[in-house]
Structure 1
Amino acid sequence: MSDAVNIFASDEARRSDGTGGFRTTAEMLRLINQPGYISLAMGGQRLRGLYQRFSAGFTANMLKQFALYCFIGQVEQIKRTIDSGQAPDLTGTETPYKFGYCTFVVAGAQRGAAVCPGSDPAAALQLLLSSGAPADSEDIVGYTALHHATQNAAGGALALARILLEAGASPNHQSRYGEVPILGAFQTGDVDAVELLMEFGADMDIADADDVTPRGMFPRAGPRVAAAVTKWLRKRAGEAAPMDEKACAQCGTAASSLKFCGRCHAARYCSPTCQRAHWPTHKRTCQPFDITTAVTVRPRYRAAGRILSTADTTRELLGIRSGARPARGRGAHAGQAPSLQPGESKRIIIKVQVPMALDADGPGAAAPSGDMLVYTKRRDFVCQISKADNADAYARISRAVREKGVGGLKAYFPAELNGEDELVVKIGEVLAEQPF
C-alpha cells in the first residue's frame, strides 16, 4: 500500500471521512441512475472511465474503522467488533462507491494488505460471510466482490473468489453493464479465473447491455481462454476430445514429460505401464496416420511477420492487466523450417489457422482462399500451406477447421514432419483446443 496506515488509530486520529478517497460526480450519478443495464449508447464506456478515474484517489486512512479492519484482513479485530455488537450493519456499504465489507477484503488483498501484521484475508472473508455479510453485495456499478476478485487476481484474490463462490456468491450476477464476472476474466485473459468461474457454473449465454455473451466473446479472448472454456463446455455436455487435459490418459498424472501414443499421437502417458494398462480402452479409438485420416502437404516457409495473439496485443494496447503470457515462442517470426537430420521424422502438435476475411470491424469469417498458417507451441516450426501447392489436401484441412475448429477459423491436429518438404496432417482427429 502506498500510504502508511495506523490500523488501531481512531477515525478521528486518522482524520477519516469514510470516503476511502473515492468520489462521485453528478455525471456519474446521472449515468448510474438510468433504468436497466447501461449500454455503450447510454454512456457505459464513459461511466467505466469515470469509475476508474475517481477511484485513483483511494487511501485506506480515509476508511472508517471497521471497513479498515476488513481491508487489512484483521480477523481478530473484526471478530471482536462483531462480538461486542459495535460492528455496523454487515449488509450495508461504505464510501461513495458503496463497497460491501467482503469487497473491502478483496480490495485490500489486491493492494498488498496481506503483508500487514495479523492480516488474514481468507479468514476475515470467511468470518464476514458466516456473520451475515452478503456475498453478492453490489457497489455503485453493480460489481460484487466476485467481480472484483476475478478481474484482478493480485494478492491471492482468486483464493478469495473461491471462498465467495463456496459461500453462495453467484457466478452469473450481472453488473449495471449487464456483465457477468466471466466477461471480466475474458478481458484480462486470466485463465485461472476462467477455470474457477466455469467450475462453479458460469452461464455462457447471459448477454450484457450490448448483447455480448460469454459464448460469443470467448473465441476472441485468446487461445488459452478458448482452450479452458471449451474443455468445460465439453465436460458439461459429457463429452471429451483428444488431449483435453495435459495428463496421463490412464492415471491422470499431470507430468511434464508425458509421452504420446506412437500410433495415433493423440493420447499421452506418464509411463509404459500406464500405456499398457490403458490399451484395452484406447484401442477402440486409436487411429493411425493413414490415407483415410491424414493428408500430406508441402509446406512453404515465407516470412510473414510475427505471430502474436490478437487478444494479448489488444490487452497491451489498452493497458489491461492480464494473466501471465508465456515467454517461450512469444512473437516468433513466421517461416521457421524444421531442424531435422536427413531421413529423420518428428511427430508434433500443430495449430492451423485458415485465412480470414476482413470486415469493417476487423477479422471475421473464414476467407475462401489464401494461405493457411501452421505452427507449433514453441514456434520451432512455422509454415504456410498454399492452395496452389496442395489443392485437395488444402480443401480437406480447410473443411476440418471450418467444421470442427474454434469459430471455424483454427484447429489443432497431430502431425508428422518427414523432412523440410513434407508435412502429414492427421485431419481425422481434431484435438481439443490447446493453449497456444
Structure 2
Amino acid sequence: MSPSDQQIIQTIEHISSLLLKKTKEELNAEEQAALNDWLSQRPEADIRFFDTATDLDEIEKVLQYMYGIDEERALADVLNTIHPVPVQVIPVVPVRKGHFGKKVLLKYAAAAIVTGAIVTTAVFVFNRSKPNTSVAALPVEQRYHNDVQPGNDKAVLQLADGRNIVLDTSQNGKIASQGNTAVNKQDGIVLYNSNQHSNTTAIAWNTLRTPRGGQYQLQLPDGSKVWLNAQSSLRFPASFMGNERLVELTGEAYFEVAKDEQKPFKVIFSSPNGGGREGAVEVLGTHFNINAYDDEDAMKTTLLEGKVKLSSFKNDGSAILKPGEQSSLSQTSRISQPIPVQTEEVIAWKDGLFRFQDASIESIMRQVARWYDVEIVYDGKIEKQFIGTIPRQVPVSTVLKILESTGWVHFVIDGKKITVAP
C-alpha cells in the first residue's frame, strides 16, 4: 500500500470516527470544530447525507468513494471479500483507471449484492456463463458512451397567485410572503413561518414540484417536515385553517408530522396518469412514507412511528398501520392488509441511498430513471432479483457497474438513454 493510500485511509478512519461520535452525541469541542471544518468544504448534498447517516458501514462506503483508493487493490478486496462463498463469482467489470471515477465503493456494494444473493439461495439461481447477447459481448468502454451525474436539490415553488420560484437558483433568505406567512429558503429547505393569530380566512394554496433528477425539503406552517423525492409534487396551504391539516401528494414523500390532536393531518395522494387511483392517509403526529408514483403497480404507505389510517376514495376499505408496517393501494383501488417491511429500504432515498432487497431490475431502474433523469429501454428479460445498497451521490455509471458485477445484467449508456440487457 502506498503512503498516499495510507494517508487516505487514516483520513477516512478519522472522519468516520467523528461522524459516529456525532450520532452518539459524544463529540468534544475540538472534535466538533474539526468535523465542522471538514463539512464546510463539502457540497450541500453530502452535508445532509452525513447529518442523517448513522450506519458506520454506509458512512465508510461514501468516504471511500469520495477519496478513492487504487482500483486494482479494490478489485482484489472484492475477491477476498467473497472468497468464502462456495461458488464461482464474476469480479467487477474492469474499466480504464480514472475514466468513470474511483471504484472503491464497489468492493462493498458488489460484495453485498453477491453474498446477499447467496444467502437467499431459494430466490436466486447462479448462472455464471457469459450471456450470449450483443450487449454483453461489448467491452464496457464501447457500452458507456458517456456518464450521467446524480440528481440534486432542484424544485419549483408555485405560489397562490401563480408565480413560480426556481428554488435551486434562489438565494437563501426570504423569497416570498403568502398572506400571514413568510416563505424562506435555507440550504435546500423551504420554510413556511405562519402567524397563527392572523384573522385571514382565505386559503392560499402553494405547490412544490421536483423534476426528474431533483429533490427538496419543506417545513410546513405547522412545523411538520416533508422530504419530496424526484418527480413529485406537494400541494399545501400557506397557513392551515379549519379543523384539519390537508395536503395533496403526487409521487413520493416522507413526512414527519408535528403533533396536534385538535387538527388531524391528512395526505390525499392520487395517480392522475395511472388509472385515477386516489387514497388518503390520516394521522395526528407520526413519521411515514408514501410512494404514489404513476409507474408503480401499487401506491404504498409505510409507517415508521405513530399510527396512521389508509383509506381509498373508490372503495370502502381501510387499513390501520402500526410502526414497521406497509399497506398498498392497488390499481383497482383495493387496500391490502398491512404487512411488516424493512423500513430502512423504504426511506433509503431520503437518506441519500438506493437500498433494495429481492428487487427486480425493473423496480431498480425506475428509481434510476427518476433520480438521474434518464430513459430506460430493455433489450431482453432479466429474471434475477437483487440485493444491495448504493449511495445516490455517485454517477450513474457506478450504479450500473455495481449491478453488472453480478453477471446477470449489462448496460449501454448513450446520452440520456440507458439500455438494459442480460
TM-score by length of 2: 0.24
Higher RCO, 1 vs 2 (CA within 8 Å, ≥6 residues apart): 2
Q: Rg larger in 1 or in 2?
A: 1
Which structure is higher in strand share?
2
Greater helix fraction, Structure 1 or Structure 2: 1
